[in-house]
Each structure stands twice: as structure tokens, then as C-alpha cells.
Structure 1
Amino acid sequence: MLITYIVVAVLMTTVLVASAGAKSMRTQHITGQMASLGVPEGMLPLLVAAQLSGAAGLVVGVWWRALGIAAAVGLALYFAGAVASHLRVRDHKGASPAIVLTLIAIALIALRAVTL
């Protein structure tokens, strides 16, 4: 199960770093999407920090189980918040990726919890 956790954590980390990079570049697409969700532009650095912290926690969680679980819980909450934000403005298409990422974060919790 540890190998499965590592593979899924690496994939999730890749997605998180790419998403954080896009947010930090503040492209028109990203700022427009955040504005439509009601997220102030000043929150982008906090979202970037949350994503990068979660990615780092997943990686370190390979060696320190408790941190891997904590990072996955934080990411599940982060993406659940993203789902809620999308659904609040009736953006069902935008909610779909956040739902998938929430489920992956929950899977990471389970994978790391059962691995010794």
C-alpha cells in the first residue's frame, strides 16, 4: 500500500504544483475564474501556499505518516471548499475537477492510514 500511496501522492503533488504555478502567474483565466467564484485576488497567495504546503506534506508523508495524513486531510478540506465555492455560483462544470481532487485526497488519507 505504501507504493500506491507514493504513486498517488506524486500525481497529486504534480497537479498541486501546476495549479499553484498557474495561480501565482495570475493569468486572466485564473483571475477571471476566481472573481466569478467571489474569491478576492488578495487570497491567491494563500491558496498557492495551501496547495504547496499540501504537496510538501504529501511528499514528507512518505517518511512521516502523521504528516502525510494531516496533509491529505487539509487537501480534502481545501478541495471540498473549492467544490462548495463552485456549487454556490452554480458552476457545475468547474466543480467536477474539485470533486475528483477531493476524492483523491480522501483516498490518500485511507492509503496512508493503512500503511505502516
Structure 2
Amino acid sequence: MQVAYVIASIVGVVFNGGAAVIYLIGHEYPKSQADMKGVPRRYVPVLGTLLAVGAIGLLAGLVVPPIGVVASAGLVLYFMGAILAHLRVGSRDILGGIVFLVIAVTILALGVVRLELA
């Protein structure tokens, strides 16, 4: 169980950390996504910061398990919101959000089990 948690967390750190960098460097993709969803562009760095904090929390969760559980729960909420934002404007381009959500849910489930076994 420990190995699965570590692997899932590392995948989550890489995915969310990479997405955070894309959001924070001013790449055009997050800006176009914000435009499509009707989200003001000034929120793009905020969303990137949330992703970065989630990635850092997952990394910290490898040492302090409750932090990882909280971080993964936050990422679950983040990606549920992202998917709903797509659906709200009629976009069906949600595969990426689903992948990120599945990763976050997996880390959350494994983290909860890890806490119960400790």
C-alpha cells in the first residue's frame, strides 16, 4: 500500500506541478481556457498557485501523511470545479480534467487508507 501511495503521489506532483508551471509562466493555453469558460484572466495565476500548493502538499504528504490527504482533497475539489466549468459552457473537452481528478482521487483514497493503517 505504501508503494502505491508513493507512486501515485509522485505522479500527482509531476502532473500538478507541471500544470502549475504552465499556468504561472503565462502560457497561452490556460488563458484561452479561462476565456472559453468566462473566467477573468487575472485568476489564471491564482489557479496556477492552487495547483502549485497542491503539488507541494502532495510532496509534503510523503513525510507528513495528513498534509497529503488535505492536499489531495483540495485537488479533488479543484478538478471537480474545472470539469463543471467546462460543462457549464457546453465544452465536452474534459478528458484532461478527468485524468487529473482520477489521480487526485486515487491519492486521496490511498492516503486515507495509509492513515488508517498507521
TM-score normalised per structure 2: 0.91
**After the TM superposition, which residues 15-54 of structure 1 pair with which residues of structure 2 at under 5 Å, given as runs?**
15-54=15-54
Q: Please provide the CA RMSD for this pair.
A: 1.2
Question: CA separation in 1, counterparts of 2:25 and 2:56?
Answer: 20
8 A contact 2:69–2:111 mirrored in 1: yes
Structure 1 counterpart of 2:113? 114
5+ residue gaps in structure 2? Answer: none
Residue 73 (str. 1) matches residue 49 (str. 2)? no
Structure 1 counterpart of 2:13? 13
Identity among equivalent positions (%) equals 30
8 A contact 1:22–1:30 mirrored in 2: yes
Structure 2 counterpart of 1:102? 101
* Local SS of the residue matching 2:78: helix
| Residue type at the aligned position of 2:101 | T
Q: CA deviation at 1:62?
A: 1.1
